[in-house]
Amino acid sequence: MAKGNSEGIGNFKLSFFQDTVRKDTSAKDTLLNDSIVNIRKTLYNRFSDSVKTTPDQLSLFPAISLQQYLKGQYAGLYVQEPSGEPGSVQNMFIRGAAMPLLSRREVYQAQPLVILDGIPLITEHPFAFDLQQFDFNRPGPATNVFANIDMNNIASVEVLADLSASAIYGPRAVNGAIVLTSKKPGSVRSISFNSYIGMVQRPSVTTINGKYENAFRQRFYDLYTTNGRYSDDENYPIYLSDSLNNVYSGRSDWTDLYYRNALIHGINFGISGGTSRANFRFTLGNTKNQGVADDTGIDRYSAMFNINMKPVPWLVFSAMVNANRLERDRNRYLRDRFAQVNYFPDLSAPLPPNKQYYADYLNQYKKGFDDNKTNLIQGFARIGVEFGKFKWSTTFGVDYNEGYRDVFYARTLLQGNSYASNFYGFNQRLMLDNKGSYDFTPTKNHQLHVEVGQSIQWDTYKYTNAYAYKGANDYIKINLLESDPTNGNYLNPLAFPRELTYRFLDKTGDNLLSFYGKADYTINDKYMISATLRTDGSSNAQPTKRWFVSPVVSAAWSMKKEFLQDNTTFSDLVLRASVGRMGRLNAYDNYAQGPQYTATTGYTGNLTVPGYNAIAVLTRPYSAGWIGYGIPWSYSDQIDIGIDAGFFAERLRLSVDLYSKTEKDLILGVPDYAEYGYKQSLENGMSVNNRGIDVTIKADIIKQNTFGWTSSLNVNHNSNKLKSLPRGLNELVIGNRLLRVGQPFDQYWLLTNDGIYNSVSEIPVVDGQPLKYNGIALQPGDPRWRDINGDNNIDNNDKMLMGHSLPTISGGFDNNLRYGSWNLNLNFYFNLGRKLINQDMANRFDFVNREGNSNISSVKEITFWEKRGDYSKYPMYNPWSTVIPYRTDQDLFLENASFLKLRTVALGYDLTKLLSRKNVKVSRLYVYGSVHNVFTLTPYTGQDPELVSYDGFDPGYGLPIPRTYTLGVKMDL
């Protein structure tokens, strides 16, 4: 049940739903509910509550992040988990992505708002990506900031998908909102204890060695070289050329050090109590989640405190503090390390697959450190008054997180070149919210609720980073961010040469000022109309377009009361609809002022250090793009039509929503102004549409005293389309993507592969000229790419839009079976209609172009010695061909990534009744065992169809999502 006036159509006052508004302001008020906030049981919440998983059920999953808890639980909410590495970032999208996901910036701008007890949580701004040249991990700890949610502290979770529900939270909730309400204090003393211990199981993998790799490559030499012997190839890698070298061609047992079975645990202890005038709740918790690969893991230490006080009948004070400390052990990928260091050593030989030699590498790694720590705190103080039907509240809230990453790599890892780095960054949101409401009863059976509100939010994002090369020795690991001006060397650490020490800092912020009014009108408990009007002013908007007005109107009609009052089949039948517009905030402050000077190019090759002859200067934003004047607010037009039905005394419950969301005036970089040195021009005018259907069904299939079976299914079908581009363009090429008006914007732009040319006679000839690829004549052994436009030349004009990187159908299927005090839960999760590019397999076959270069594409991890995929499905092209036959921009590597996962099997027993018969005073004692990530059914030939980047490419870097076994207990005293 949602709080307050927070959900438009979802929160209007209807007496026939037995409102829980507290009207007694005497000393008997227990403060179990905040009396200054209307807490109403509504059509929207009634059905959403009845068909969705409770936080108590979610807490059985040994998750470390909010995204993992919510995956597959809510219709329309899609969670993307690109890696099973504990504490890594996952993405969420409600009813599709709001824009083409061209970079991390768009991913950031498409995320829903997460709200904890009325506090809109801040996330890490992607502007720090400008520090590095590779789009892998954000600089700093790169820890999932939503790993601070302990589901044992949460009383309710709501996913608000349409504007009628989320409009009250303003433009930050334009992508939808996830509302978390923590457990409240009680006037009766209680103690809770929740704990589990478990094990993550190492995966079973097939390893290979140099002999296997030689045999794999030998087939290509036999076909496409004169003598068929790789030993005669002067460019053949040395590490594979000697078959008697046991370092590479001997035992491949590196997995003994890379994969592991690991213990995990979680514990949460809480106490609450007080009186009817003052009460509290306090919890402490610790969660340790270790990964199955690369010695990864995360520790979370948490504390939460809630307090309510009512010194006089008309005055209420409440406060909350949620504090967390996250300590993360990151992966040791070479790719991530080189991207961090901005330096590539000799890549001619990869890490050996032999355990002994791999252990030597790990010992060199342990000479340094990679410490990642994140501190997070949220809190609010709220004071409210209540005089009859008039209520007023003022809330001050804060959300703050800070991250530290301290890195040192010994010189033995980088060819005699040691490296040190220190990062500190914080994200801060302060908010002041004022809200007033009044309830009228103009005539009998007519109710009117009026609400006005004002809020202001101050956001600040900042980071400071420093790194240095060639330290004096591997024993001095210095703090490069030393800022004590009394220290004469604080800007010139003696351990590193001054000319090889670099420092960066950046800060950005934005303010949001909002005013809104809202009215809900109900007639005869059958008809309702709700209207919200708000205006928001953002400092990130241009001065001429500072404010945006957002109207939202919603209505509902109880057809049960209108037509089916005495019908026993229908226990409820409600039709509802909403339509509205909401502004979309600019995520970057450099959009606010039009053309400006910034730091974007540099003599060191770093993107954020401008200079001329080693003298720092300001430049125009050439690499970021030209920003003109007159850029308006982007906004979202949304419409939703829904029906909620209950049958057979609520044995069967159904909720269906049809929706359409159109994003307008989105900003997109259009390649232009190259003659002035610019990469692109950032312009508004892009429009996209998402439309689809959400269906949620819950049924009590068997409902008896001793045996019960409840089943619930949630399904979302979503399709997207690009409606327009800036300047009225019909299509636009950005990187490896083609955006075409009228087509889905999450498709891949690929050549169509029809096999292989085995001989010269198979290659088409037109006017004496053979078929070409970008002017290069195709030869036997080259791919048979389809000439779509028939011009006898394969190029970008022959690429087709195909597949979808986002699922067209997603959801979950949950079954709860009860027998006496036993309970069995089976939870399934599925994605359908989604495809991905198996880049991992493309890299394996493209060994000629990846071998021996000093660039990021040539990096070979220890997992290079792991057999993945189905080699037999790929033609044996000539890997030396200049057309690069194993390129990723062809449908050869496009695979069906649909899947069905049995995500959880949990068996529990409730000992409460047994203990009560023995006069043991326990409110609840529940023990359980569970298995997670049980199996996956998928046609995908890679390691896991979930382990994919936001752009739909599987580079093979996602650590496995492990199978986990847990034993747990939940106890209330």
Burial of 616 (0-12, 13-18, 19+ CB in 10 A): exposed
Range in 223-232, 521-530, 868-877, 909-918 the model is least confident about: 223-232
Rounded average pLDDT over 760-785: 95
What pLDDT does 246 receive? 87
For residue 360, pLDDT beyond 60: yes
Burial of 775 (0-12, 13-18, 19+ CB in 10 A): exposed
Rounded average pLDDT over 604-626: 64
What pLDDT band is residue 611 in, cutting at 50, 70 and 90? low
What pLDDT band is residue 373 in, cutting at 50, 70 and 90? very high
Tokens of 207: 């390893």
Apex 608 CA angle, 671 and 587, nearest 5: 60
320, 117 contact by CB (below 8 A): yes
For residue 438, pLDDT beyond 90: yes
Least Cα distance to 420 among 362, 483, 501, 343 occurs for 501
The pLDDT tens digits for 669-688 are 999 988 888 889 999 999 99
> 847 vs 214, 864, 969, CA distance in Å?
11, 11, 51
What pLDDT does 11 receive? 34
- Distance, in Å, from the CA atom of 695 to the CA atom of 646, rounded to the nearest integer, reads 14
Burial of 761 (0-12, 13-18, 19+ CB in 10 A): exposed
Secondary structure class of 962 (helix, strand, coil): coil
- Distance, in Å, from the CA atom of 109 to the CA atom of 99, rounded to the nearest integer, reads 8
What pLDDT does 45 receive? 43
DSSP strands (E only) in 202-350: 206-207, 262-274, 278-290, 297-312, 315-329
Residue where a domain stops, chosen among 798, 816, 831: 798
Q: What is the DSSP string of 632-686?
A: --EEEEEEEEEEEEEETTTTEEEEEEEEEEEEEEEEEEE---GGGT-S-EEEEEE
For residue 580, pLDDT beyond 90: yes
For residue 828, pLDDT beyond 80: yes
Rounded average pLDDT over 436-459: 93
Note the Cα 40 to chain centre separation in Å. 31
Secondary structure class of 437 (helix, strand, coil): strand
For residue 37, pLDDT beyond 50: no
Residue 147, phi then psi, degrees to nearest 5: -80, 5
For residue 490, pLDDT beyond 80: no
518, 454 contact by CB (below 8 A): no
Where is pLDDT greater, at 196 or 441?
Answer: 196
The residue with tokens 């103009």 is 442
Where is pLDDT greater, at 229 or 525?
Answer: 525
The residue with tokens 């005036």 is 665
State how beta strands 772-773 and 793-794 pair. Answer: parallel
In which element (H, E) is residue 772 found? Answer: strand 772-773
What pLDDT does 52 receive? 57
Q: What percent of the chain has pLDDT over 70?
A: 92
Tokens of 697: 């069904």
In a domain, 788, yes or no: yes
In a domain, 618, yes or no: yes
- Distance, in Å, from the CA atom of 235 to the CA atom of 721, rounded to the nearest integer, reads 47
In a domain, 66, yes or no: no
In which element (H, E) is residue 561 found? Answer: helix 559-563
In a domain, 613, yes or no: yes
For residue 859, pLDDT beyond 70: yes
CB atoms within 10 A of CB 678: 20
Residue where a domain stops, chosen among 798, 833, 860: 798
For residue 322, pLDDT beyond 70: yes
For residue 553, pLDDT beyond 90: yes
Range in 183-192, 235-244, 306-315 the model is least confident about: 235-244
What pLDDT does 485 receive? 64
The residue with tokens 């292989």 is 756
For residue 25, pLDDT beyond 80: no
In a domain, 40, yes or no: no
- Distance, in Å, from the CA atom of 430 to the CA atom of 422, rounded to the nearest integer, reads 27
Least Cα distance to 65 among 136, 141, 151 occurs for 151
Rounded average pLDDT over 630-658: 94
The pLDDT tens digits for 647-662 are 998 899 999 999 999 9
The residue with tokens 């590779």 is 134
In which element (H, E) is residue 55 found? Answer: helix 55-58
Apex 347 CA angle, 341 and 353, nearest 5: 105
SS3 of 355-400: HHHHHHHHHHHCCCEEEEEEEEEEEEEEEEEEECCEEEEEEEEEEE
Q: What percent of the chain has pLDDT over 90?
A: 73
Any residues with CB less than 8 A from the CB of 207 and at least 6 apart, and which?
A: 252, 253, 254, 255, 353, 865, 866, 867
Least Cα distance to 141 among 323, 300, 296, 330 occurs for 330
Show the DSSP H helices in 71-228 as ranges. Answer: 104-109, 163-166, 210-224
What pLDDT does 617 receive? 67
896, 935 contact by CB (below 8 A): no
Would residue 605 be called left, alpha or beta, if left means φ above 0 and alpha means ψ between -120 and 50 degrees?
A: left
What pLDDT band is residue 287 in, cutting at 50, 70 and 90? very high
355, 251 contact by CB (below 8 A): yes
In a domain, 415, yes or no: no
For residue 122, pLDDT beyond 50: yes
Averaged pLDDT score across all residues of the chain = 89
Residue where a domain stops, chosen among 777, 798, 819: 798
What pLDDT does 633 receive? 96
- Distance, in Å, from the CA atom of 66 to the CA atom of 145, rounded to the nearest integer, reads 9
The pLDDT tens digits for 703-717 are 988 999 999 999 999
- Distance, in Å, from the CA atom of 482 to the CA atom of 490, rounded to the nearest integer, reads 5
What pLDDT does 15 receive? 29
- Distance, in Å, from the CA atom of 498 to the CA atom of 489, rounded to the nearest integer, reads 10
CB atoms within 10 A of CB 179: 23
What pLDDT does 852 receive? 73
Secondary structure class of 965 (helix, strand, coil): strand
- Distance, in Å, from the CA atom of 101 to the CA atom of 951, rounded to the nearest integer, reads 7
Least Cα distance to 901 among 44, 25, 81 occurs for 81
Cα torsion at 331, 332, 336, 340 (round to 10°)? 110
- What's the total number of domains in the chain? 2
CB atoms within 10 A of CB 790: 9
In a domain, 745, yes or no: no
- Distance, in Å, from the CA atom of 856 to the CA atom of 334, rounded to the nearest integer, reads 9
Range in 81-85, 607-611, 916-920 the model is least confident about: 607-611
Tokens of 413: 């890892």
Q: What is the DSSP string of 448-506?
A: EEEEEEEEEEEEEEEEEEEEEES-S-TT----TT---TTSTTTTS-TTS-GGGEEEEEE
For residue 410, pLDDT beyond 70: yes
Domain that holds residue 757: 752-798
Any residues with CB less than 8 A from the CB of 664 and at least 6 apart, and which?
A: 634, 635, 636, 637, 687
- Distance, in Å, from the CA atom of 540 to the CA atom of 529, rounded to the nearest integer, reads 34
Tokens of 295: 């010695």
For residue 47, pLDDT beyond 50: no
